[in-house]
């Protein structure tokens, strides 16, 4: 509608101008050298108008000729861009359909048409990765990582490749570099924490842990791995304060205190943890400096006095009494544990030792040991794998803080590692 109105308006202007020129009165005459001319004013005006139009058309033609190469290049670039956009669309469709061959081919075509843009590089990398061409994917991701406008995309792709091949050191380095490119990314912080656990960099894992993370386990592992004595003591204290019921945390803190000559404080820490969650390693640590068998029984009584009816307390008191030759006292504690419904293999074997020391028949205790329930051990609450010793993160599923000291049967069948470690525990 606007175009029609514009054409009508131009036509009206031209007609009005022609009418005005035709209605001009008078004549125009002039001499140019030996040539004289005379014409009506309307003819002269029309001639001037036509001359202006001709000059305008000539200049436009010359400008078009000058702009022709640039126009041709612009149109070719537009066609390449359209073809490249179509290749990008075909690449996305091929990736969605799982057609790796078409995806790689169309991604390569898009790069040829559009150049190495963030979009074409990312598509080429994904097409190569899905097709199993890790070399192609890595080359595209590295090119992306070198760009200022898409470095994070390239670093994330390289990080994923490092994780897939289990190169945790490289993955940690890439994660740190990605953090410097895009600081504060929540996903990246969680990934760095997970990688720190896999790489055994416990101080980094503790620093990156969320508020609800099992920091006691992380701090315990960090304290065990630390070299500086001051840092080790600080981390050990943090671990125990985070969770006083965690025996490994109490042990690492107690060991550092003992090494620093603070024996009384070390025993206070161990006794406090024993009052919450007794563990055989706590008793071993507390009784280690005591050599005399009778003195060991007294030390065991001081250790267990805050939790005397627990099965671990009964077993420690029975063992130390037996080692001191107090078989009656040892049997009393063992039978008290049995009366408390403790049915563990180690208890019946200890009772058999006591009866043997008394000269009694221990065959019944040995038969009970053969059918007794499992002894407590470290079990992963996530994957139910049994481990012979405590780990900050389960070596099987890498869940942090999932190992618990328990004799309860697992929800599912034990893994091969669990069965092997069970045999190892039994034979030991």
Round to whole Å and give the CA distance between 181 and 339. Answer: 64
The confidence score (pLDDT) of residue 331 equals 93
Do 296 and 355 reside in the same domain of the chain? yes
Q: Looking at 266, 285, 304, which one is the last position of a domain?
A: 285
Residue 107 structure tokens? 């991604």
Largest CA distance in the chain: 158
The confidence score (pLDDT) of residue 20 equals 67
Within-domain flag for 219:
yes
List the beta bridge partners of residue 378: 387, 405
Within-domain flag for 98:
no
Within-domain flag for 152:
no
pLDDT tens, position by position, 259-314 = 999 999 999 999 999 999 999 999 999 999 999 999 999 999 999 999 999 999 99
Handedness of CA 166, 168, 169, 173 (dihedral sign): positive
Within-domain flag for 185:
no
235: number of Cβ within 10 Å:
27
* pLDDT < 50 positions in the chain: 410-428
Q: Looking at 245, 270, 285, which one is the last position of a domain?
A: 285
Residues, the chain, total? Answer: 428
298: number of Cβ within 10 Å:
13
Round to whole Å and give the CA distance between 83 and 50. Answer: 45
Put the strands of the sheet holding 386-387 in their side by side order: 386-387, 377-380, 403-406
Exposure string over 334-365, b if 16+ CB within 10 A, otherwise e = bebbbeeebebbbbbbbbbbbbeeeeeebeeb
Within-domain flag for 115:
no
Within-domain flag for 200:
no
Please state whether the predicted TM-score (pTM) of the whole model is above 0.75: no
Alpha helices by DSSP H, 165-214:
168-181, 186-199, 202-208
Place of tokens 């309307």: 42
**DSSP category for residue 414:** P
Do 243 and 262 reside in the same domain of the chain? yes
Residue 97 near residue 65 (C-beta atoms within 8 A): no
**DSSP category for residue 385:** -
The confidence score (pLDDT) of residue 222 equals 94
Within-domain flag for 69:
no
**DSSP category for residue 404:** E
Q: Supply the range of the domain harboring residue 339.
A: 290-373
The confidence score (pLDDT) of residue 295 equals 95
Do 299 and 364 reside in the same domain of the chain? yes
Round to whole Å and give the CA distance between 152 and 147. Answer: 9
180: number of Cβ within 10 Å:
9
For residue 345, give the CATH number of its domain: 1.25.40.10
Do 223 and 275 reside in the same domain of the chain? yes
87, 89, 90, 92: CA torsion to nearest 10: 120
Do 308 and 266 reside in the same domain of the chain? no
Domains identified in the chain, total number: 3
Do 342 and 366 reside in the same domain of the chain? yes
Do 272 and 344 reside in the same domain of the chain? no
pLDDT tens, position by position, 229-265 = 889 999 999 999 999 999 999 999 999 999 999 999 9
DSSP annotation string for 60-127? HHHHHHHHHHHHHHHHHHHHHHHHHHHHHHHHHHHHHHT-HHHHHHHHHHHHHHH-S-HHHHHHHHHH
């Amino acid at each position: 509608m606007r175009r029609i109105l514009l054409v009508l308006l131009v036509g009206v202007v031209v007609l009005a101008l022609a009418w005005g020129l035709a209605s001009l009165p008078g004549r125009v005459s002039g001499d140019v050298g030996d040539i004289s001319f005379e014409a009506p004013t309307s003819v002269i005006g029309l001639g001037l108008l036509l001359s202006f139009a001709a000059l305008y058309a000539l200049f436009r033609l010359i400008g078009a000729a000058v702009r022709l190469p640039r126009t041709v290049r612009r149109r070719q670039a537009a066609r390449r861009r359209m073809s490249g956009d179509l290749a990008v669309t075909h690449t996305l469709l091929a990736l969605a359909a799982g057609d790796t061959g078409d995806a790689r081919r169309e991604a390569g075509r898009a790069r040829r048409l559009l150049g190495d843009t963030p979009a074409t590089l990312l598509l080429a990398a994904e097409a190569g990765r899905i097709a199993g061409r890790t070399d192609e994917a890595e080359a595209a991701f590295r090119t992306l990582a070198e760009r200022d406008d898409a470095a994070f995309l390239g670093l994330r792709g390289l990080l994923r490749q490092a994780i897939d091949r289990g190169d945790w050191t490289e993955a940690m380095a890439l994660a740190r570099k990605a953090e410097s490119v895009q600081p504060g990314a929540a996903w990246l912080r969680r990934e760095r924490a997970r990688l720190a656990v896999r790489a055994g960099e416990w101080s980094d894992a503790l620093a990156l842990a969320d508020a609800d993370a099992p920091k006691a386990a992380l701090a315990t592992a960090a304290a065990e791995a630390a070299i500086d004595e001051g840092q080790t003591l600080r981390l050990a204290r943090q671990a125990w304060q985070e969770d006083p019921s965690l025996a490994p945390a109490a042990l690492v803190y107690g060991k550092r205190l003992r090494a620093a000559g603070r024996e009384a404080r070390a025993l206070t820490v161990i006794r406090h943890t024993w009052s919450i969650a007794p563990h055989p390693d706590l008793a071993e640590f507390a009784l280690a400096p005591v050599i005399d068998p009778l003195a060991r029984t007294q030390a065991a009584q001081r250790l267990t006095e805050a939790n005397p009816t627990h099965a671990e307390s009964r077993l420690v008191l029975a063992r130390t009494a037996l080692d001191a030759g107090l078989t009656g006292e040892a049997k009393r504690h063992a039978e008290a544990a049995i009366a408390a419904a403790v049915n563990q293999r180690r208890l019946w074997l200890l009772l058999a030792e006591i009866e043997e020391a008394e000269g009694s028949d221990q065959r019944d205790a040995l038969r009970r040991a053969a059918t007794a329930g499992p002894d407590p051990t470290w079990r992963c609450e996530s994957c139910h794998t049994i481990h012979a010793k405590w780990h900050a993160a389960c070596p099987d599923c890498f869940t942090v803080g999932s190992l618990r000291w328990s004799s309860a049967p697992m929800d599912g069948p034990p893994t091969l590692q669990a069965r092997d470690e069970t045999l190892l525990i039994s034979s030991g």
